[in-house]
Amino acid sequence: MAKAKSSYVCQQCGANFGKWSGQCAECGEWNSLIEAPTVTAMPHHKAASKKTSNYAGEQSAVIPLNAVPMSLDTRLPTGVSEFDRVLGGGLVAGSVVLIGGDPGIGKSTILLQTAIHMAGNDSLAGSALYVTGEESLSQVAMRAQRLGLPTDRLKVLAETNVETICHALTQEQPAVAVIDSIQTLFTEAIQSAPGGVSQIRESAAILTRYAKQTGTALFLVGHVTKEGALAGPRVLEHMVDTVLYFEGQSDSRFRMIRAVKNRFGAVNELGIFAMTDTGLKEVANPSAIFLSRYDKPIAGSIVMVSREGTRPLLVEVQALVDDTQGQPRRMAIGLDYQRLAMLLAVMHRHGGIHTSGQDVYVNVVGGVKVLETGSDLAVLLACASSIKEKPLLSRLAVFGEVGLSGEIRPVPNGQERIKEALKHGFTHAIVPKSNAPKTHLEQFDGIEIIAVERLDDAIEKAFDLVAK
C-alpha cells in the first residue's frame, strides 16, 4: 500500500510546503510548520468538479459590474444595541462573524443572549440554532436559566462533526446559527485531530460556503493565543466577513468588543458592555465610565476626545513622571509604547521639557486601547502637568496629532469630538487649528475653543488657563 502523501502547513499564514523547514518562507515565522495529509477533494469543492465556482456557489462568468443584481438585505437586530453597532447596524443574512477573546470574558454569554433573542417571535430572524462543541446541552441550559433567559424557542445541538452540523442546518433551516467553537470541529475528509491548522481551515471553509449558499448567518467562536491573536492560521480571518475581538480585564465589570474587520460596516468600531448577573448589558453612555471625578484637580491627568469607529469617546489619560533610580523606564498601558518614546523626544526638542533622567508611566483609564494618533497632544500635556506638578483645568478636553517638527496636525471628525466634550459639560477645548470652526456657531456657545498650531503654544495655553 502506497504511503499517503503529506504536506506541511504553516500555523500562522496557512501556506503549504512539500517538505518541512524550520522557517516559513511566506511569513518568516519559525517552527510553525506542521504535517498535514494532502487531500485532493474537499467536501466544499464538490460543486467545482465540472465548472468552477466560488464560496457562494456561483458559476464563473464575466459580466459588467452594472449588470450584477443587488439585493438590499434587511439587518437583523441582535437585541443588544452595542452589539448591533459593532456589526454595522445589525446582522446581515449569509454573513459569517468570527468572535474571539480570552477564556471567561463572555463570548458564549453574549452569543447565547443573541441566539435566544433572534429565535423569539418578535425578532425578524424568528429562528436560531446554537451548536456547542465544548459544553454539554445541560451546561448551556443551566447558563440560560442562570441568566434568566427564555428557553422555549431556541434549538440546541451538541456536535463537532462539520458534515453532521451542515445536515442539521439543512433540516432546521435557521436564520442564525452559533458555532461554539471552531477549534472543536472536524471534517471526515482530513485525518487529523480537531484544532489543527488543516481542520480549522477546512471546517471554516465548509461552513462559510454553506452560509453563502443558504443565506444563514453564522457566528463562529474562536480561541485566542497567549498573545491575544486568534488561534489557527490567519487565513481564517480572511475567509469570514467580520472579525470581532473581546477586550477587557478579568477584574473589571466592563467588556469591549472591537471590530477589526467588517465587510458590512465600519472597522475599529467599539461596543461597550457591562457584565451583570443577567448577562452582558449595553452601556448607554460609555464616556461616563472612563471619566474620573475628583474633589480637586490633580497633576498628570487630562481628558482626551478619542474616536472609536464612528463615534467620539471621552477618555481620561494619566501620566506619572518621576526621578529614576537607574535606567529610565517608559511604560504605556492602552497606548503604543514606541509612539510614547517618540512623543517625549518631540516634547524635549520643541516643547522645552525633557525627561531624559526620569521614568514615564502613561495609563488610559478604564482599560481602553487607544489606537489613533489623536491622543498625542493629550499624552504630552499630561506628562508636562506631572513634571511641573501643576494640575490642568478639570473641565478641559484635548485632542490632536503631534508631528516630529512640533506641529499640531488635524484629526478626523474634529467638530463631532467638540460636541461630545460639550455634551459632558466641558468648558474648554484645545484643538488643532484646522479642526476649529472657521466661524462662530451657536452649537459651540457653551465651550471655549482654543486653536493651536505648535506644541509649545499648546503647552503654554494649557497652563495659562489654570493661572486665570
Q: Residues 219-264: pLDDT tens digits?
A: 999 988 776 677 666 778 889 999 999 887 766 788 889 999 999 9
Dist CA 83 CA 91 (whole Å): 9
Dist CA 109 CA 324 (whole Å): 45
Dist CA 247 CA 272 (whole Å): 10
pLDDT for res 60:
67
pLDDT exceeds 80 at position 404 = yes
**pLDDT band at residue 55 under the 50/70/90 scheme:** low
Instruction: Name the burial class of residue 255, with classes exposed (0-12), middle (13-18) and buried (19+) by CB atoms within 10 angstroms of its CB.
Output: buried
Q: How many residues does the chain have?
A: 468
pLDDT for res 44:
39
Instruction: Name the burial class of residue 261, with classes exposed (0-12), middle (13-18) and buried (19+) by CB atoms within 10 angstroms of its CB.
Output: middle
pLDDT exceeds 50 at position 310 = yes
Nearest to 7 by CA among 199, 198, 204, 205: 198
Contact (CB, 8 A) for 206 and 84: no
The more confident residue out of 389 and 11 is 389
Place of cell 466592563: 254
The more confident residue out of 166 and 443 is 166
- Whole-number mean pLDDT of the chain? 87
pLDDT for res 289:
77
pLDDT for res 42:
39
pLDDT for res 374:
93
Instruction: Name the burial class of residue 443, with classes exposed (0-12), middle (13-18) and buried (19+) by CB atoms within 10 angstroms of its CB.
Output: exposed
63-67, 73-77, 181-185, 190-194: segment of lowest average pLDDT = 190-194
pLDDT for res 72:
67
The mean per-residue pLDDT over the stretch 282-291 comes to 81
Give the torsion sign (CA, 365, 371, 375, 376).
positive
**pLDDT band at residue 188 under the 50/70/90 scheme:** confident
Second-level CATH architecture of 288-467: 2-Layer Sandwich (3.30)
pLDDT for res 53:
60
Nearest to 240 by CA among 223, 224, 257, 217: 217
Q: Residues 110-159: pLDDT tens digits?
A: 999 999 999 988 888 889 999 999 999 999 999 999 999 998 999 999 99
End-to-end CA distance of the chain, in Å?
90
CATH class of 73-283: alpha beta
pLDDT exceeds 60 at position 401 = yes
How far is residue 197 from each of residues 12, 20, 35, 303, measured CA to CA in Å?
Answer: 9, 15, 10, 44
Q: State the amino acid at position 163 in one-letter form.
A: E
